[in-house]
Amino acid sequence: MARRELSETTRAALVEAAIAEFAAHGFDGASTRSIAARAGVHQPQINYHFESKADLWGAALDHLFAELSAELTGAALSADGDLEVLRNSIRTVVRHAAKRPELNRMMVKESSVVSERLTWLTEQHVRSLFDIHSALWNRLRVKGQVADLDVLTAFYVLIGGSTLLYSNSPEARLLSGDDPMDPTRIEAHADAMVALLTRSTPVAATRHHTTRTTT
Amino acid sequence: MARRELSETTRAALVEAAIAEFAAHGFDGASTRSIAARAGVHQPQINYHFESKADLWGAALDHLFAELSAELTGAALSADGDLEVLRNSIRTVVRHAAKRPELNRMMVKESSVVSERLTWLTEQHVRSLFDIHSALWNRLRVKGQVADLDVLTAFYVLIGGSTLLYSNSPEARLLSGDDPMDPTRIEAHADAMVALLTRSTPVAATRHHTTRTTT
DNA sequence: GTCTATAATTAGATAGAC
DNA sequence: GTCTATCTAATTATAGAC
């Protein structure tokens, strides 16, 4: 393997190890030694490939949000009309939370206090998703096709209701003995979140447009 | 002030300071020095009043869960019938999440990986709440009075949908400029969570029993 | 690009005076 | 019960050989 390829391999291994360690123990709880050990390299490699521990943390989130954005874009492109876009997006959020619980684990650990890391995270990655959600939700709300919730509350009900079961899956397993990551359960959860937040038929007025219904 | 009273004052101040620091920075991120400083005492006082940092962390959660249990008990006692108990409980969960976001912040930081702290927390405090929820939810589900969700998923949709807006309120404020803790918004959120998870009229069969409806 | 060795901080906990 | 002073261990980051 050429030197540049080796470098990129090491860098990618460090990012993946950082995702696992930061998600499990938080920024302060994860040590650069444990991250390096998980990646199979020595600790000073982190400061060779990244400016600092905080820089590696940022690279981990860049990677996780790139994955999520790719899936959400796919969900939007394959949909026809606002309502179907929202439904596909909700399903994508649920499925992705189960596939990559690390994303929500990292998020929730940083979102409880204003900090440099939180402002970076919010402006760099969350803002654009929230803006897209807001425009979509407001258009559907005036047509009575979604639950009667303001955009901010709707955003957090959607994310919280869709992701906590997976970000807290170790707790859920202790409580119930069941596996939250079971594919059948995940699909039922996705269906339920769609049913809770959207209405197949508008409640307030306007039926002139033909509205796609799922059943 | 007598010596014993002084001691109890110091202990209570340490618990309250620990709640603030652990909720904001997690177990590893919060230092015993910062907790002592917030409580207005010197750092070694922690090891006089508590066996260890972990012991203080446990005392903080004991305090937070005692508060929550008191409110949930009140909500259940003032209700008539399973459906009203559930509705009151949902509203209590939303209001309490807004009043004490520290509880959910501490919880979510410990629930992403199996650890000694998580197993203690689950068995000591979460288990009983989950068992009560399970019995209640299953009785209502067979009568078609709640959303069609298994108990485990329902628990996490309820908690996640009710609490994330408040545990992540710094992020929510950055995103929207609005105040998630506004009382009117909180009540609207509570109403919405009740509407999402319960049905005023049963969908599947059985109407022989008179069912209390709100409005 | 990766290694060993180590510098510079900071952490939780304890000893002993008052 | 509370204080000052300090011990031991662990942390992030860097220096310099290969």
Tens of pLDDT, residue by residue over A59-117, are: 999 999 999 999 999 999 999 999 999 999 999 999 999 999 999 999 999 999 999 99
Residue A147 Cα distances to A39, B83, B94, angstroms:
45, 21, 17
Can you tell me the mean pLDDT for B190-195? 98
- The whole-number pLDDT of residue A202 equals 55
Interface of B with A in 53-112 (CB under 8 A): 101, 105, 107-109, 111-112
| pLDDT beyond 70 at A165 | yes
Q: In this predicted structure, which of A3-12, A27-36, A122-131 has the lowest mean pLDDT? A: A3-12
Determine the Cα–Cα distance for residues B80 and B210; give it in Å rounded to an integer: 12
**Rounded to whole angstroms, how far apart are CA atoms A197 and B197?**
11
Q: What is the mean pLDDT of chain B?
A: 93
- CB contact under 8 Å between B170 and A118, yes or no, is yes
Q: How many CA atoms lie within 13 A of A149 on its CB side?
A: 29
pLDDT per residue as tens digits for the range B24-47:
999 999 999 999 999 999 999 999
pLDDT number for residue A8? 85
* Residue whose tokens read 């790139």: A66
- A159 neighbourhood in chain B, CB within 8 Å: 160, 164
Coil, strand or helix at B191: helix
Tell me what pLDDT residue A200 has: 74
pLDDT value at residue B155: 98
Contact B21, A28 (CB under 8 A): no
Question: How many other C-beta atoms can be found within 10 angstroms of the C-beta atom of residue A106?
Answer: 25
List of chain B residues whose C-beta atoms are within 8 Å of the C-beta of residue A119: 174
Q: What predicted TM-score, i.e. pTM, was given to this entire model?
A: 0.93
User: If pLDDT is split at 50, 70 and 90, which confidence band does B3 have?
Assistant: low
Q: Of B57-66, B146-155, B202-211, which range is least confident?
A: B202-211
Q: Is A26 on the interface with B (CB under 8 A)?
A: yes
- State how far the Cα of A9 lies from the Cα of B178, in Å rounded to an integer: 44
Cα–Cα distance, A123 to A117 (Å, whole number): 10
- Determine contact: B199 vs chain A, CB below 8 A: no
Using alpha carbons, select from B156, B176, B90 the residue that is nearest to residue A151.
Answer: B176
Q: Which residue has the tokens 């699909």?
A: A187
Quick one: average pLDDT of B142-152?
A: 97
Q: What pLDDT, on a 0 to 100 scale, did the predictor assign at position A44?
A: 97
More confident residue, A203 or B54: B54
Q: Which of residues 39-78 of A touch strand C (CB under 7 A)?
A: 41-45, 48-49
- Residue A175 to residue B128: CA distance in whole angstroms: 10
Give the single-character DSSP code of B50. S
Per the CB < 8 A criterion, the answer to whether B43 and B53 are in contact is no
A110 Cβ contact list (under 8 Å, min separation 6): A27, A117, A118, A121
pLDDT classification of B123: cutoffs 50, 70, 90: very high
